[in-house]
Structures are given as structure tokens and as C-alpha cells.
């Protein structure tokens, strides 16, 4: 109701008249609904539709599904939108960071922890921070193939996003 813009009128009508007004909810105005649709289309291999739903969701704050889809599309360099143009809802950021914090508690080495943090930064669409972490890790561990691969992947994402600008 809130995303469709009818919640305030609904509550005010109950307060003032004691009766509920009739209303219509537009599911396309709900970031959760459009995020779910984005994930559904992505899993079905419908990249254009997945991107359209994810972008619609991001415009209104996003949800974990839309952020996941856009992150994957950026990683695969299939998206034509730049996620830098959208502001993520802080709840979504915390959701992904919490997931990666839980995973971090089970990791033992500095490299594993930093690689996990790089993945977390990618999941919250902060590819510049992911790049910086990968770069610093590559300076400290120049011969580690996993680190080289992660740095290369993040650089490709950033080049792709720069090309979109």
C-alpha cells in the first residue's frame, strides 16, 4: 500500500470516517514484487526482462533480489544500466553485509576474509571499493591466482560500467 501511494489515504479515511476506502495496488510500484520478478526472469534466462524489473525495483529502493540480479548482470557484463545511478535502501545493504559477515566468521585466512569482503562489496554494487580491496590484496599477495582472478573480474566490471556512462 505504501509503495502504491494509498497507505496514507487509507489510514486517514479510517481515522476520519471510520470506514476504509477502496483502493488499487500497483504491484509494479513495489520493490519486492519487481525484485522477485527480476530474479524469476534472470533464472529463466530472460536477461532483458530481468534487467527491466531489477531497474524498476532499484528506482524505488531495491530489494535483495533486484540487487542480486543487477550484481550478476554487472559481473557477466550483460547489463545496459549503471547501478551507480541508484541509491540502495540501507536495509538491503545491511542484509548483504550481514550475510557476508556470517560467512566471514567461518573463514581462517586474511586472503579468504578479504575475498569475501570483495564479494560483499560487489553484492551491494560498490564495485569501486571491491576493486580497491582486490588491488591492495594483489599488492600483498602478487602470486596468488585467486587474487589475480578476482582483481581481473572486478576490473572488467568497472570497465563495463565506465563504458555505460
**Do residues 18 and 39 share a domain?**
yes
pLDDT recorded at residue 10: 62
- C-alpha 5/C-alpha 118 separation (Å) is 37
**Do residues 9 and 48 share a domain?**
yes
5: containing domain? 1-88
Percentages helix, strand, coil for the chain (3-state, rounded to 5) are 70, 0, 30
- C-alpha 28/C-alpha 79 separation (Å) is 20
pLDDT per residue as tens digits for the range 16-42: 777 776 656 666 667 888 999 999 999
**Do residues 124 and 152 share a domain?**
yes
**Do residues 82 and 94 share a domain?**
no
**Do residues 32 and 98 share a domain?**
no
**Do residues 1 and 77 share a domain?**
yes
pLDDT recorded at residue 24: 64
Question: What does the mean pLDDT of the chain come to?
Answer: 87
Q: How many domains does the chain have?
A: 2
Averaged over 117-145, what is the pLDDT? 94
pTM of the predicted structure, to 2 decimals: 0.76
pLDDT per residue as tens digits for the range 149-163: 999 999 999 999 999
Per-residue CA distances from 28 to 41, 125, 141 (Å): 15, 22, 46
**Do residues 11 and 84 share a domain?**
yes
pLDDT per residue as tens digits for the range 57-107: 988 888 899 999 999 999 999 999 888 888 888 888 888 889 999 999 999
**Do residues 2 and 83 share a domain?**
yes
Averaged over 43-50, what is the pLDDT? 96
- C-alpha 89/C-alpha 91 separation (Å) is 5
Return phi, psi of residue 34, to 5°. Answer: -70, -30
pLDDT recorded at residue 4: 52
**Which of 63, 88, 113 is a domain's end point?**
88
**Do residues 113 and 159 share a domain?**
yes
**Which of 73, 88, 103 is a domain's end point?**
88
Q: Give the residue among 150, 110, 112, 107 at the shortest CA–CA distance from 132.
A: 150
- C-alpha 12/C-alpha 149 separation (Å) is 56
**Do residues 55 and 99 share a domain?**
no
pLDDT recorded at residue 70: 92
% of the chain surpassing 90 pLDDT: 59
Q: Rounded to the nearest 10 degrees, what angle do helices 145-164 and 127-140 cross at?
A: 150
Amino acid at each position: 500500500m505504501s509503495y502504491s501511494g494509498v497507505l496514507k489515504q487509507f489510514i486517514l479515511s479510517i481515522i476520519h470516517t471510520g470506514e476504509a476506502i477502496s483502493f488499487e495496488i500497483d504491484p509494479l510500484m513495489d520493490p519486492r514484487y519487481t525484485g522477485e520478478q527480476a530474479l524469476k526472469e534472470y533464472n529463466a534466462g530472460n536477461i532483458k526482462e530481468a534487467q527491466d524489473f531489477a531497474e524498476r525495483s532499484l528506482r524505488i529502493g531495491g530489494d535483495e533480489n533486484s540487487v542480486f540480479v543487477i550484481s550478476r548482470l554487472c559481473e557477466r557484463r550483460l547489463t545496459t544500466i549503471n547501478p551507480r545511478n541508484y541509491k540502495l535502501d540501507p536495509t538491503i545493504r545491511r542484509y548483504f553485509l550481514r550475510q557476508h559477515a556470517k560467512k566471514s566468521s567461518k573463514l581462517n585466512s586474511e586472503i579468504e576474509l578479504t575475498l569475501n569482503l570483495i564479494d560483499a562489496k560487489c553484492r551491494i554494487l560498490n564495485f569501486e571499493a571491491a576493486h580497491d580491496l582486490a588491488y591492495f590484496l594483489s599488492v600483498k599477495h602478487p602470486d596468488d591466482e585467486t587474487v589475480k582472478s578476482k582483481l581481473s573480474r572486478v576490473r572488467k566490471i568497472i570497465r563495463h560500467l565506465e563504458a555505460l556512462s
